[in-house]
Amino acid sequence: MGFEASEKVVELNARLQAFMEEHIYPREHDWDEWCLDQDNLWQVPPWYDGIREKAREAGLWNLFLPHEYAPWSPGLTNVEIAPLFETMSKVTWAQAVFNCNAPDRGNMEVLAKYGTEEQQEQWLNPLLAGEIRSAYAMTEPQVASSDATNMELEIRRDGDEYVLNGRKWWTTGAVSPRCKIMLVMGKSNPDAERHRQHSTILVPRDTPGIKLVRTLRVFDSLHSPGGEAELLFDDVRVPASNMIKGEGCGFEIAQGRLGPGRFQYAMGLVGLAQRCLELMCARADERVAFGEKLIKKTSVQHEIARCRCDIEQARLLTLQAAHVMDTQGMKAAIPYISMVKIVAPNMAQQVADRAMQVFGGAGVSQDTLIPHVFALARFSRIADGPDEVHMSQLGKLTARDLNGISR
């Protein structure tokens, strides 16, 4: 099927593109240099909030929430959101300018879907306004966290409060002073059925008893200004009203948290890969080796062709995932979500690798975003659930759906 964008989306995408040209591409390298300076650790550049405000005023804000999340959604379908994500992802830090970045977008979705009015008032509204940041703390160092039912952090009811004890790591964004709230998953009902033992609870970042054990480096980068934290929870007390949806709903929330988020993640990787391809083509057209431009060399032509095929396949698959979500609902989209989760990070890693090679030494330097894309695509094959978990799920679903068809 075709995925022609509606007039509304063409216009919105053009405005987004113009915003990227005016405010983001010119500052791409400033951001890297500023964030790498140790004196600026965990801070944002001085110009950053100004351009976020401009994006908000321009209505280029919270575009990640599909129309069923009214009144907070700008009213777009998943298929309409997809090309916007490609555009806003062509610079590694740009999604956050439009308040569309992970992990905040998944957390906002949880609060919009499951939060009480009080929880929405206290935490969702400031997140939607971009006034605060959030984190999602599921993964624990001592257990295989690709299986969410393994989580051990204890959530114990004590009168009008819950008490949390345990350890989390890889909590993205939790090092930033802007992070004010965390969605923490832990075990509250150890005697219940395996998928009903866990809960997700809201924990303000400054609650006494939360200790930052260390910041983790990703391929030796601190990922400032958000960071990835290892946290100790030592008798951390929060009001009972901070429980999201109810005791025992943690696994359901973990599964549901990344519905639209997963195809948006994939479309982000398509955007980054497309940018690598654009840079690769420009470089091949100007760089001369052994008497001719690189673009004249068959091997370079083939690498460019492979990139284009791979990106277009991933783009169309991601649009299809969004289309199935729009027309048949989340359940029908599950196999497509698994497919894009497997395909998009691997595709972006391959494309970045090829672009790197065409750039030679410059390809591994700070002069382009290519090394960032390579690293991001590589850790994405773990961070949002390892490839193997998505492949096993897809394999099982496929065997179930196709079993008996050939007979």
Ligand X SMILES: Cc1cc2nc3c(=O)[nH]c(=O)nc-3n(C[C@H](O)[C@H](O)[C@H](O)COP(=O)(O)OP(=O)(O)OC[C@H]3O[C@@H](n4cnc5c(N)ncnc54)[C@H](O)[C@@H]3O)c2cc1C
Task: Please state whether the peptide bond connecting residue 204 to the residue before it is cis, i.e. omega within 30 degrees of 0.
Answer: no
Which CB atom, from 12 or from 137, has the smaller least distance to ligand X?
Answer: 137
Does position 137 interact with ligand X (CB under 6 A)? The reply is yes
Position 379 contacts ligand X (CB under 6 A): yes
Q: Does residue 109 belong to the site contacting ligand X (CB under 6 A)?
A: no
- 178 is a site residue for ligand X (CB under 6 A): no
Q: Which stretch binds ligand X (CB under 6 A): 53-61, 142-150, 272-280, 360-368?
A: 142-150
Min CB(229)–ligand X separation in Å: 9
Is residue 386 at the binding interface for ligand X, with CB under 6 A as the rule? yes
- Contacting range for ligand X; rule: CB under 6 A; set: 50-58, 90-98, 364-372, 380-388: 380-388
Residue 176 interacts with ligand X (CB under 6 A)? Answer: no
- Of 117-125, 309-317, 323-331, 382-390: span binding ligand X (CB under 6 A): 382-390
Cβ-proximal residues to 378 (8 Å cutoff; 6+ apart), any chain: 219, 345, 349
CB of 216 to ligand X, least distance (A): 8
Please give the single-letter amino acid code of residue 70. A
DSSP state of 6: P
> In the window 197-256, what residues touch ligand X (CB under 6 A)?
218, 228
Number of residues interacting with ligand X: please give it, by CB under 6 A: 21
Question: Judged by CB under 6 A, does residue 369 bind ligand X?
Answer: no
Among 124, 385, 390, 394, binds ligand X (CB under 6 A): 385
Residue 392 CB, shortest distance to ligand X, in Å, is 5
CB nearer to ligand X: give 146 or 365: 146
Contact present, 284 and 294 (Cβ < 8 Å): yes
* CA–CA gap between residue 158 and residue 238 (Å, rounded): 10
State in angstroms the smallest separation of the CB of 259 from ligand X.
Answer: 17
Under 8 Å between Cβ of 100 and 85: yes
Q: Any idea what DSSP says for residue 221?
A: B
What single-letter DSSP state applies at residue 137? Answer: E
In whole angstroms, how close is the CB of 116 to ligand X at the nearest point? Answer: 23
Beta strands in 217-340 (DSSP E): 228-239, 288-289, 292-293
Torsion over CA: 68, 74, 79, 82 (sign): negative
Token digits of residue 156: 């114990």
Could you tell me the two tokens for 218? 């990703």
Alpha carbon distance 233, 235 (integer Å)? 6
DSSP helix/strand/coil, 11 = helix
Q: Which is nearer to ligand X, 3 or 335 (CB)?
A: 335
Verify binding: residue 166, ligand X, rule CB under 6 A.
no
Task: Residue count of the chain, please give it.
Answer: 407
> Where is 313: in which H helix or E strand?
helix 298-328
List contacts with ligand X (CB under 6 A).
103, 136-139, 144-146, 170-172, 218, 228, 379, 382-383, 385-386, 388-389, 392
